[in-house]
Amino acid sequence: MEAETGTSSPTFAEREHAALAIKVPDGVPEVAPEKYEELVHYFKYASSCYILLCPRPCGNTLVTTFSNAMTDIQGFVARDKHRKEVIVAVRGSASLVDVILDAQALLVPLVSPGIKATSGARVHAGFLAAWDSVAVQVLAAVHLEKKLHPDFSIVTTGHSLGGSIALLAALSLKGSFPLTEVRTYSYGSPRTGNREFSKFVNDSFGPSAHRVVHGNDGVPTMIPSALGYHHHGVEYWQHSTPASHSTTVQCDPSGEDPKCSISVPSRGVNVAHTNYFGILVSTPFCL
């Protein structure tokens, strides 16, 4: 039997809350409850990618899985008949191979299926190699789905490395299906390309490109802007806990809002990177 001391050790949630008690400057608006629920919804797909097989992603139809043994990239394509969407979800880093891809930070020209990038757009060499390794599989699956469901929109989503790949996937899919609405959601993803690339993304998607950061998650700033990298917008920052629309703000569309997550020093891969909206990354939503 434990001795009574009159005090108790703080729980994990309490320690996290203390660590994420970040004061947000005035003038940064809270997200609407509907937008908050939307961000949580697509994170559940990104989280579900971390298991080998998700038979019913978020209760919807699994169309196919995709993977590449050389790059260790995996994910799935799902169909939501209620929202009329085809969803492409990509897993984040989960192996040494993924870490090696993360480290290939040379900026290279953006050449990939379906993408007609603006002059000067450069992206992370490892992230581009990762997307290109599965691009044919993903595009073929979505082409078939669009033939069967021409009125469905397309969504891409991913956490960490998966978020950067999901962004590149969205650009390929938008180029391949120019008349279809395409939206993309990333969670805790690093900077993916340079300023010209960021402008290309913002011009292509506007508010349909969602980039979510949790508290002091250091991965989004792990690749420094000093190397020529620049985030795309719009950033949604869950600055403190408990997770809710009132603790999540919508930053300006520049991608590098000084009032938001870049105001917090980078700590690399930390506790904040391993959970979003109070959901532990790799939690499956597959029934």
Is 160 known to be catalytic? yes
Please state, in angstroms and rounded to a whole number, the distance separating the CA atoms of residues 121 and 76. Answer: 28
217 catalytic? Reply is yes
Token code pair at residue 218:
């250091």
CB 214 within 8 Å of CB 275: yes
Looking at 160, 164, 176, 186, which residue is catalytic?
160
Angle between helices 161-176 and 135-148 (to 10 degrees): 50
Catalytic residue of the set 159, 214, 232, 273: 273
Q: Which of 80, 217, 231, 232 is catalytic?
A: 217
Q: Supply the residues annotated as catalytic.
A: 160, 217, 273
